[in-house]
Amino acid sequence: MSIFDIIGPIMIGPSSSHTAGAVRIGLAARAIIGGDLSGAVITLHGSFAETYHGHGTDTALVAGLLGMKPDDERIPDALQIAWEKGLKIQFQTGDLGDTHPNSVQLELISPDGTKRCIKGASIGGGDIIITGIDQFQVDFTGKNHALIISYRDQPGMIAKITALLATENVNIAAMRVSRTAKHFEALAVIELDQPVPEKVITRIEQAPDVGTLIVLPQTLLGEDV
Amino acid sequence: MTIGELARKIESEKTGLSISELNEKMERRLKVMRASVARGLQGINSKSGLIGENALKMLQAKAEGVLIGNEPLNSAIAYALAVSEVNAAMGRIVAAPTAGSCGILPGVLLSVAETLNTNDSLIIEALFSAGATGEIIARSSTLAGAAAGCQAECGAAAAMAASAATELAKGTPNQSANALAFAFKGLLGLVCDPVAGLVEVPCVKRNAICVGVALAAANMALAGIESVIPPDEVIETMALIGREMPASLKETALGGLAATPTGKRLAAQLMYMK
- Cβ contact (<8 Å) for B99 and A1? no
Nearest to B130 by CA among A124, A225, A3: A3
C-alpha–C-alpha distance, residues B54 and A62, integer Å: 31
By mean pLDDT, which of B45-49, B79-83, B259-263 is the weakest?
A: B45-49
Under the banding of pLDDT at 50, 70 and 90, the label for residue B272 is: confident
Beta bridge partners of A187: A150, A178
B6 touches chain A (CB under 8 A): no
Mean pLDDT for the stretch of residues A62-86: 97
Confidence of residue A125 (pLDDT cuts 50, 70, 90): confident
Of A2, A6, A14, Cβ closest to residue B199:
A14
Whether CATH 1.10.4100 fits B3-273 = yes
Burial (CB < 10 A; 0-12, 13-18, 19+), residue B246, is exposed
pLDDT of residue B24: 97
> Which sequence spans correspond to the domains of chain A?
3-134, 145-216
Q: Hey, is the C-beta of B88 within 8 angstroms of any chain A C-beta?
A: yes
Residue B189 sits at the chain A interface (C-beta within 8 Å): no
Task: Give the contacts of A62 (CB within 8 A, at least 6 positions apart).
Answer: A26, A40, A78, A79, A82, A87, A89
Local confidence band at A27 (pLDDT 50, 70, 90 cut-offs): very high
Q: What is the CATH number of domain A3-134?
A: 3.30.1330.90
pTM of the model: 0.92
pLDDT tens-digit readout, B21-77: 999 999 999 999 999 999 999 999 998 999 999 999 999 999 999 999 889 999 999
- Give CA–CA dist B214/A111, Å, rounded: 53
Q: Sorting pLDDT into bands at 50, 70 and 90, what band is B274?
A: low
Predicted confidence band at A225 (pLDDT cuts at 50, 70, 90)? Answer: very low
- Contacts A13 to B, Cβ<8 Å: 86-93, 99, 102, 199
Tell me phi and psi for residue A128, to 5 degrees. Answer: -130, 165
Write out pLDDT tens, residues A137-154. Answer: 999 999 999 999 999 999
| pLDDT at residue B220 tops 60 | yes
pLDDT tens per residue across span A96-117? 998 888 899 999 999 999 999 9
Give the CATH number of domain A145-216.
Answer: 3.30.70.260
Q: Which of A5, A7, A44 to mutate to test the interface with B (most CBs of B within 10 A)?
A: A7
Which residue of chain A has the CA closest to B106?
Answer: A7
- Share the mean pLDDT of chain A: 93
In order of A85, B46, B114, B197, the CA distances from B170 in angstroms are 55, 37, 15, 40
- Asked if B190 is an interface residue toward chain A (Cβ–Cβ < 8 A), one would say no
Mean pLDDT score of chain B, rounded to an integer?
A: 96
